[in-house]
Structure 1
Amino acid sequence: MKISSFATGLSYVRLLEVITLELTLIRHAHSQGDVDRVVKGGRMEDALSDKGMKQLGLLKERLVEERWQFDLVFVSPQRRARQVAEGVRKATGAELIPGERLKEIDCGDLTGSPFKEAERLYPRPEGGHRSYEPMPGGESVLDQTSRVSSFFMEMLDKHINKKLCIVSHGGTMNVIVRLLYGLPATKPRFPGSTHTLRFADTSISRFSISSSDNIVTWYINDSCHLRGLQE
């Protein structure tokens, strides 16, 4: 297994000795909003699509075969995330804890709009949308960053020495990974740009956080369980 470590001055064995928390991020599966090609965000309560249910089945098989275990699974209250979290619970036996702050970014008035209509209603300005400007009736990137960051830091503070899992959304996971790597939400001299990572449906990202604030990245966006699934 390849390991990307941001630790310095510690041997691998020594690093494992001081680990205080194991963190796994799982993105929700393909949902009906993806089929309809509409803006989803933090308000839409769409269920998993047929494709998403197949993805979930393969995720569950992987978790069982690899004997994954979690102490707690935190989950966004949105339906597409809850369905996946329930599958994780069945595969691992872990307790589910809903987290309101784990929702996707609130797209406000654009929620449910076809992509082309959303582009017309909220055209991209020169240089891109600013991270501090909310979508009409919704949140800005910085709003979401603040919301998710507060949840994440509180979770770390309360659950030391635990194996934790978060089942949520691509935007939410972006905030968490940026926090882990110390990346700002935006590039200071380019306010219309963001540090963006892409997460596949039901992908798994796994990290270990040590008491000395070192972070081991085991893998990011691993969706090998979906190999062979026909589009």
Structure 2
Amino acid sequence: MQILIIRHGQSEADLLKVHEGRADFPLTELGRRQAKLMAERVKENFPPEIIWASTLKRAKETATILADALYCPVKFEDRLMEYNNGILAGLTYEEGKKYPIPKTMHERRVKNGESSIEFRMRVESIFSEILYTSTYNRIAIVAHGGVINNLMRAFYKMPVTTEFLFKSGDTAIHLVEITEKERIVHFSNDLAHLQHLQ
């Protein structure tokens, strides 16, 4: 099965320079254009049969644009929401300095948030469920940078404490595949659809 992993487009939080995480901001106009270009590329080159997506506005809107372009069903799933950054959500970076992030996040957490271990386990839980209940040849997951980072770590079977970071630009596309014999990475953080965006 092939798995398209797609990050949402630019959100209003990017312009406001605030901690996003669980803060629920919609896409900007640029974000919507990015999502439409991504949807065109996916439709032409590797259309999925079903889309799974986070319920936060920026990912939900990106997934809806993709689903509308493909006439494809979409399932919204809370467990695909971004890292729960607790009290930091929606605060400016300056305001956030009042609540320092613990140096080791694996077990500790920001107030009202989740730890890195809890985040990874949440993402692994829904990823396993998607993989083992899907009967499709190709699926898509539309989510967030932190979620995608953990999805890729899970795909590579990396430990929770790994220092590897998988970057994802706005509407970045990753394409991986799981067969009976191996795990294949076709490409990662692909942004070719934004090449001519003005």
TM-score by length of 2: 0.94
The corresponding residue for 1:59 is: 38
The alpha carbon displacement at 1:124 in A equals 5.0
Q: What amino acid sits opposite 2:16 in the alignment?
A: D
The corresponding residue for 2:149 is: 174
**Structure 1 unaligned spans of 5+:** 1-20, 188-193
The corresponding residue for 1:34 is: 14
Q: What amino acid sits opposite 1:54 in the alignment?
A: R
The corresponding residue for 2:197 is: 229
- Structure 1: distance between partners of 2:27 and 2:147: 18
| Residues 1:121 and 2:101 aligned together | no
Aligned 8 A contact 1:185 1:195 in 2: no
SS of 2:139 mapped into structure 1: strand
SS of 1:121 mapped into structure 2: coil
- Structure 2: distance between partners of 1:222 and 1:166: 15
| Residues 1:183 and 2:163 aligned together | no
Aligned 8 A contact 2:53 2:63 in 1: yes
Q: What amino acid sits opposite 2:189 in the alignment?
A: N
- Structure 2: distance between partners of 1:45 and 1:130: 23
Task: Provide Cα deviations, 1:130-181, integer angstroms capped at 9, x if missing partner.
Answer: 3211111111111111111111111111114431100000111111100111
Q: Which has the higher strand share?
A: 1
Aligned 8 A contact 1:28 1:169 in 2: yes
Aligned 8 A contact 1:204 1:223 in 2: yes
The corresponding residue for 2:172 is: 203
Equivalent in 19, 22, 30 of residue 2 of structure 2: 22
SS of 2:10 mapped into structure 1: coil
**Structure 2 unaligned spans of 5+:** none
Q: What amino acid sits opposite 2:17 in the alignment?
A: R
- Structure 1: distance between partners of 2:129 and 2:38: 28
Equivalent in 163, 181, 184 of residue 216 of structure 1: 184
After superposition, the CA RMSD in angstroms is: 1.5
- Structure 2: distance between partners of 1:186 and 1:116: 28
* 113 and 68 in structure 1: CA distance in 2 versus 1, 3 angstrom threshold: same
Q: What amino acid sits opposite 1:55 in the alignment?
A: Q
Aligned 8 A contact 1:186 1:195 in 2: no
SS of 1:220 mapped into structure 2: strand
The corresponding residue for 1:165 is: 140
The alpha carbon displacement at 1:184 in A equals 1.5
SS of 1:196 mapped into structure 2: coil
TM-score by length of 1: 0.81
Q: Percent identity?
A: 29
Aligned 8 A contact 1:68 1:92 in 2: no
- Structure 1: distance between partners of 2:101 and 2:127: 30
- Structure 2: distance between partners of 1:46 and 1:170: 15
